[in-house]
Amino acid sequence: MEENQNVKEQENQNYDASQIQVLEGLEAVRKRPGMYIGSTGERGLHHLVYEIVDNAIDETLAGYCDRIEVNILDGDVIEVVDNGRGIPVGIQEKMGIPAVSVVFTVLHAGGKFGGSGYKVSGGLHGVGASVVNALSEWLEVQVSDGEHVYMQRFRRGDSEHELKIIGDTAETGTRVIFKPDAEIFTDTTRYDYDILLTRLREQAFLNAGVRIILTDKREDGDKNEDGTNRQDILHFEGGIKSFCAYLLEGKRAEPIHEDVIYLKAEQKDNMAEIAFQYNSGFDSKILSFANNMHTVDGGTHESAFKNSLTRTINAYARKFKILKDNDPNFKSDDVQEGLAAVVSVKLTDAQFESQTKAKLGNTSMGSMVSSMVNEQLSLYLEDHPATAKVILDKVMAASTAREAAQKARELQRSKTSFTKVRMPDKLADCIWDNPELTELYIVEGDSAGGSAVKGRDRNYQAILPLWGKMLNVEKARIDKVYGNEKLSPVVMALGAGIGDDFDISKLRYGKVIIMADADVDGSHIRTLLLTFFFRYMPQLVEEGHVYIAQPPLFEVKKGKQKRYAFSDEERDQYIAELGGNADVQRYKGLGEMDAEQLWETTMDPQFRSMLRVRLDDFDRADRVFSDLMGDEVEPRREFIEQNAKFAENLDI
């Protein structure tokens, strides 16, 4: 490391902040890992894999590689293998050591030598192999150049020996094996197959033709039903067109026109492509990417797409008299209803705004996307009148529904404005009104509701029993939600509004606790309420206000001693602790408990156990909800059976 620094110092006459970082070498990465990989939590751990895979993908895009293997090995060691040219092993002039050694020991070296077209300072991207090396307990790189296999091993970023030849080969390619450093990743070093799968699939979609093979080779890893290692082969010739179609898979919604519409433009070093399709659902799902990075907060490319889509559809509607002279234009919400779209741009000087670096700022990309959509989409619509008709019908229906919803909302507002705070009839409210202290229990069933009202601490615990037919919000528009007899008491009790009107500062209870039986019906209620919160009050979930009560499953009693068990294991443990021969009562439902028992086991903050529902990963949660509320029974049953796990582990 010392040597590298000296060489660098001679080379750079003028220092700016970024170059000073280079001088600090890999020590800086170990000192402040978050700056280089975002976090040292689960996300950062997985990010290491993406950095190495990115280099292999670049090699594929350069046309030298058609296969990338990613293996999770025992001990959560990662192995990435490609069949490209192999990282060059020749001496790199400035540093006087093999290029491959530079790539793994000098910060930002990849970009310097890689010179690969679009790959540029994309936020977390491109910090590369040296960062992974710095944050690994050990890392080994093997390069095959068609003659020899070269190898070098590192420990926490420092090389253990120089690059050496360990064998002969007729093949070419690069293999990187590393073990993330538990000193850095203190939360967890366990890899989650599904997290890797989601990201690698996304990369395979964004880089049409790339073939990525992910395999879980851990003894204690994910297995198929027949006990073999879990494996996915990710290869999509259709690129983002396939991605767009995939967004609808497993959803309730069906495409309403056959072809995914695909637009593409290239200008000098810049490229933009968009794939979109309308479906029978009401949600819109627009994903945008810049240089293969998911721009979660959108940016110029995404807003240009939305604006020019609205403009083009309005222009078409005017031209063909679908909109009359006096009609107002369609709103962008109308145009986006049921829209699934993927926007991907690649550019050489990507600039990112916002803290998270997830928002593209280049205005030139905005104009490129706008003119592409304006020109190509109007042509497309005129060439495909049947498709144009179903899209315009859809937009028209959305526009009509939006107006109806607007009226329903105004009606609700005017109702509430007379009485100021109108509360649902069945709400047993609490006395205090400080949301930092108050809790709302949403309880299924009148008898459990009754016990809860009697058993609660009425100072800060409010009870809302639910009755009536539950609405599946995945299948309904917002105007139906307003009128629903089961949901509108929830909205009223929470007092913070709904949808675009939701205002968390008006929330009347800091904890919103869903209390339902541990059986199938209870799970159904939980799922529907969670879906409702997720779709119409996502902030409520994001900010951690939603909880799931955990009633016990058993009462274990012997003589005067009584304990409540929340699982089979706990039950057996208590029986053993009480010396066997205990009376075991299984609770069939909340309704079986009297007020005192309900308080003791499920509502008393000193003893109760609750799951806090989290929403770390919006996209995953979105897909889970679509799966659950879709037509297929199997995912729903799985959810119902593993509800607790769902809230804890699936991060929603």
The residues annotated with a catalytic role in the active site are: 444, 517, 519, 521
Q: Are 337 and 262 in contact (CB under 8 A)?
A: no
- Tell the smallest beta-carbon distance from residue 69 to ligand 1YM (Å): 9
Pairing of strands 211-216, 148-155: unpaired
176 is a contact residue toward ligand 1YM (CB under 6 A): yes
270 is a contact residue toward ligand 1YM (CB under 6 A): no
Decide whether 88 or 238 has the Cβ nearer to ligand 1YM.
Answer: 88
One-letter identity of residue 122 = G
Among 29, 48, 80, 515, binds ligand 1YM (CB under 6 A): 80
User: What's the distance, CA 541 to chain centroid?
Assistant: 14
Among 30, 43, 67, 85, binds ligand 1YM (CB under 6 A): 85
Binding mask 52-71 for ligand 1YM (x = CB under 6 A): x--xx--x------------
Binding mask 429-468 for ligand 1YM (x = CB under 6 A): ----------------------------------------
Considering only 14-22, 81-89, 302-310, 364-372, which stretch makes contact with ligand 1YM by CB under 6 A? Answer: 81-89
Cα separation, 509 vs 498, whole angstroms? 15
- Tell the smallest beta-carbon distance from residue 252 to ligand 1YM (Å): 39
512 is a contact residue toward ligand 1YM (CB under 6 A): no
Decide whether 125 or 508 has the Cβ nearer to ligand 1YM.
Answer: 125
Residue with token string 């978050």: 34
Query: How many Cβ atoms are within 10 Å of 487's Cβ, its own excluded?
Result: 23
Considering only 50-58, 154-162, 218-226, 552-560, which stretch makes contact with ligand 1YM by CB under 6 A? Answer: 50-58
Chain residue whose CB lies nearest ligand 1YM: 113
Q: Which residues pair with 229 in a beta bridge?
A: 223
Q: Which of 153, 141, 151 is nearest to 177 (CA)?
A: 141
Decide whether 55 or 310 has the Cβ nearer to ligand 1YM.
Answer: 55
203 is a contact residue toward ligand 1YM (CB under 6 A): no
- Tell the smallest beta-carbon distance from residue 438 to ligand 1YM (Å): 54
Among 73, 113, 405, 495, binds ligand 1YM (CB under 6 A): 113
CB-count exposure of residue 456 (10 Å: 0-12, 13-18, 19+): buried
Decide whether 8 or 251 has the Cβ nearer to ligand 1YM.
Answer: 8
Pairing of strands 439-444, 511-515: parallel
Q: Which of 290, 395, 380, 383 is nearest to 339 (CA)?
A: 395
| Start-end of H helices in 15-93 | 17-24, 26-31, 33-37, 42-61
- Tell the smallest beta-carbon distance from residue 172 to ligand 1YM (Å): 9
Tokens of 575: 């029986």
- Tell the smallest beta-carbon distance from residue 199 to ligand 1YM (Å): 16
Cα separation, 20 vs 198, whole angstroms? 36
115 is a contact residue toward ligand 1YM (CB under 6 A): yes
Decide whether 64 or 246 has the Cβ nearer to ligand 1YM.
Answer: 64
116 is a contact residue toward ligand 1YM (CB under 6 A): yes
Residues 594-613 that bind ligand 1YM (CB under 6 A): none
Q: Which residues pair with 261 in a beta bridge?
A: 276
Angle subtended at Cα 112 by Cα 108 and Cα 117, rounded to the nearest 5 degrees: 115
Cα separation, 108 vs 106, whole angstroms? 6
Residue with token string 């993330």: 180
User: What's the distance, CA 578 to chain centroid?
Assistant: 46
- H helices then E strands: how many in the chain? 25, 26
Decide whether 116 or 376 has the Cβ nearer to ligand 1YM.
Answer: 116
Among 76, 82, 273, 474, binds ligand 1YM (CB under 6 A): 82
174 is a contact residue toward ligand 1YM (CB under 6 A): yes
Q: Which residues contact 153 (CB under 8 A, 6 or more apart)?
A: 138, 139, 140, 159, 160, 161
Considering only 77-85, 199-207, 231-239, 419-427, which stretch makes contact with ligand 1YM by CB under 6 A? Answer: 77-85
Cα distances (angstroms) measured from residue 307 to each of 94, 304, 371, 454 = 49, 5, 11, 55
87 is a contact residue toward ligand 1YM (CB under 6 A): yes
- Tell the smallest beta-carbon distance from residue 119 to ligand 1YM (Å): 9
Quick one: CA dihedral 573, 576, 578, 584, positive or negative? positive
Decide whether 143 or 272 has the Cβ nearer to ligand 1YM.
Answer: 143
103 is a contact residue toward ligand 1YM (CB under 6 A): yes
Q: Within 13 Å of residue 112, how many CA atoms lie on the same side as its CB?
A: 18
Decide whether 110 or 449 has the Cβ nearer to ligand 1YM.
Answer: 110
Residue with token string 């499953």: 553
Binding mask 540-579 for ligand 1YM (x = CB under 6 A): ----------------------------------------
210 is a contact residue toward ligand 1YM (CB under 6 A): no
Decide whether 203 or 531 has the Cβ nearer to ligand 1YM.
Answer: 203
Considering only 84-92, 219-227, 355-363, 558-566, which stretch makes contact with ligand 1YM by CB under 6 A? Answer: 84-92
User: What's the distance, CA 349 to chain centroid?
Assistant: 27
Indicate the Cα dihedral angle 121, 126, 130, 133, nearest 10°: 140
Q: Which letter does DSSP use for residue 9 in this model?
A: H
Contacts with ligand 1YM by CB under 6 A lie at 52, 55-56, 59, 80, 82, 84-85, 87-88, 99, 103, 110, 113-116, 174, 176
